[in-house]
Homo-oligomer: A and B are copies of this chain.
Amino acid sequence: MTVMETTGTRTDSCAGPPQQNRRPDGEDCYTISEVVALTGLTAHTLRWYERIGLMPHIDRSHTGQRRYTNRDLDWLDLVGKLRLTGMPVADMVRYAELVREGDHTYGERFELLKTTREDVLARIDELRGTLAVLDRKISFYADAGRALASERSR
């Protein structure tokens, strides 16, 4: 019975400081299941990321198995962050392409990140608005609950 292909054991409580459990540069050579454990992604997703060009082509062992490096893990950290912003995968692939194309795409990358930054700020604002609505509703129900309780005790 195969247990992997699921979320794996993330030991950090919840998004602590990144790059833990890593090997020093030079001997950084991780199997796909190690990357699963480190990132919380599934092996399926890692292979899929590579297929669609969201990852560079990953080095292979002499038998063709994937061997990830610290650099790959850094990239996956960034992808994870961008994913949290709700950025579509297609846009992340575009960013990956820019990185592959070399230094002359710095300007375009800069613009893309700035746009994303604006989006994130707008999103945070939206969420704050929602929070206000939620708090109003919650205090309504809290009051209603108290009213019901005093009703019962009377």
Contact = CB atoms under 8 A, between A and B. Distances in A.
Contact of A121 (B131, B133, B145): B131
Contact of A15 (B82, B103, B117, B129): B129
Interface of A: 15, 78, 81-82, 84-85, 103, 106-107, 109-110, 113-114, 116-117, 120-121, 123-124, 126-131, 133-135, 137-138, 141-142, 144-145, 148
How many of these chains are in the complex? 2
A10 to B, nearest CB: 15
A91 to B, nearest CB: 13
A117 B130 CA distance: 9
Given A84-B129, A123-B127, 15 more contacts: A15-B126, A78-B133, A81-B134, A82-B130, A84-B126, A84-B130, A85-B130, A107-B145, A110-B142, A116-B134, A117-B131, A117-B135, A120-B134, A121-B131, A124-B128
Contacts of A124: 124, 127-128, 131
